[in-house]
């Protein structure tokens, strides 16, 4: 069997401890690493953990489970996929963070992997995916570490919640059945939903803005019936460089609390182009927050009508 071993590295203007912490906190990966859609903890201990990762590779959405060992003293994190997605037969590696000074560090990312049936085409596919994703992850990590302070102003999160006198399943079904949104939601002009792998969806849609214009977005969604749907947009409107979100459905004594949570990073290069020459970051925050919140609340209120009419 052919086992490939590769290494990628990058230098960041940030302390090694800061870099290590960002990599260790996997719940932030969708914000830091472009290929990552969502990460969920399966098991969690002091230094050992199992995580499930949903990410894109060569334009395809994949999911796998990894076991990680965290060594904060030596700033090393080893990982090994438990269940790999074909054409990967086995995959593992190590993050190594080396201090070059108090404010500068080298980030090394090591991989070892095999292809199913030692297939040369499969190995070539993995080579390309690992190289592309490793370069993308390291570049994004460098950017996010170095701009952490500046990004505080342009990164924000918020949520909207609607109380519904219905069941979590009915509300979840409404959001899950996004392929019907063009018929059910007035702000959705066109929608295309695919789910080749159960629980992993691709959602492309044209959304109408308040001014009547439409914009196209594409998202990958990870579903957890009947309590959570997480997503990451990969085709974004001009004012955002990142948009992730989670729909949650929590049953309570009055029915179900349905919440739409968003995390956004603004695209500062486009603020004046979209909102005018005098527009500020605060204006862009208000505009994006208002647009996303309006769409979320519209969806939640239609879900409310759907669920309550089924009682």
> Is 150 a residue whose pLDDT tops 70?
no
Q: What number does CATH give the domain 152-308? A: 3.30.530.20
What angle, rounded to 10 degrees, do the helices at 16-24 and 120-146 form? 120
> Is 224 a residue whose pLDDT tops 80?
yes
> Is 168 a residue whose pLDDT tops 80?
yes
Rounded alpha-carbon distances, angstroms, from residue 240 to 119, 271, 285: 40, 9, 10
> Is 182 a residue whose pLDDT tops 80?
yes
CA atoms within 13 A on the CB side of 79: 23
> Is 129 a residue whose pLDDT tops 70?
yes
Question: Average pLDDT in the 24-50 region?
Answer: 90
User: Which residues of the chain are in CATH 3.30.530.20 domains?
Assistant: 4-146, 152-308
pTM equals: 0.82
pLDDT given at position 207: 86
Distance CA 54, CA 220 (A): 9
Question: Average pLDDT in the 124-144 region?
Answer: 90
pLDDT given at position 148: 60
Q: Please state whether beta strands 240-252 and 255-266 pair in parallel, antiparallel, or not at all (unpaired).
A: antiparallel
Q: What number does CATH give the domain 4-146? A: 3.30.530.20
């Amino acid at each position: 069997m052919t086992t490939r071993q590769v290494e990628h590295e990058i230098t960041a203007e940030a302390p090694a401890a800061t870099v290590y912490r960002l990599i260790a906190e996997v719940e932030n990966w969708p914000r830091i690493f472009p290929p990552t859609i969502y990460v969920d903890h399966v098991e969690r201990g002091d230094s050992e953990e199992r995580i499930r990762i949903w990410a894109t590779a060569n334009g395809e959405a994949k999911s796998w489970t990894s076991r990680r060992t965290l060594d904060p003293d030596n700033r090393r994190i080893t990982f090994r996929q438990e269940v790999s997605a074909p054409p990967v037969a086995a995959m593992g590696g190590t993050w190594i963070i080396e201090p070059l000074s108090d404010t500068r560090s080298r980030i090394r990312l090591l991989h070892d992997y095999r292809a199913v049936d030692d297939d040369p085409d499969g190995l070539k596919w993995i080579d390309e995916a690992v190289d592309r994703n490793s370069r993308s992850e390291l570049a994004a990590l460098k950017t996010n570490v170095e701009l952490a302070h500046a990004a505080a102003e342009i990164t924000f999160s918020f949520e909207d919640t609607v109380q519904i006198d219905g069941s979590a399943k009915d509300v979840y079904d409404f959001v899950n059945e996004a392929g019907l949104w063009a018929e059910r939601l007035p702000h959705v002009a066109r929608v295309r939903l695919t789910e080749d792998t159960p629980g992993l969806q691709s959602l492309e849609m044209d959304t109408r803005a308040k001014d009547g214009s439409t914009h196209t977005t594409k998202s990958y969604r990870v579903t957890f019936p009947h309590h959570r749907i997480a997503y990451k947009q990969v085709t974004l409107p001009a004012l955002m460089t990142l948009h992730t979100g989670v729909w949650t459905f929590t049953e309570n004594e009055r029915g179900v609390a349905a919440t739409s949570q968003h995390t956004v990073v603004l695209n500062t290069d486009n603020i004046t182009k979209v909102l005018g020459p005098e527009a500020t970051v605060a204006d862009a925050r208000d505009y994006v927050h208002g647009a996303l919140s309006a769409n979320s609340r519209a969806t939640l209120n239609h879900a409310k009508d759907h669920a309550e009419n089924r009682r």
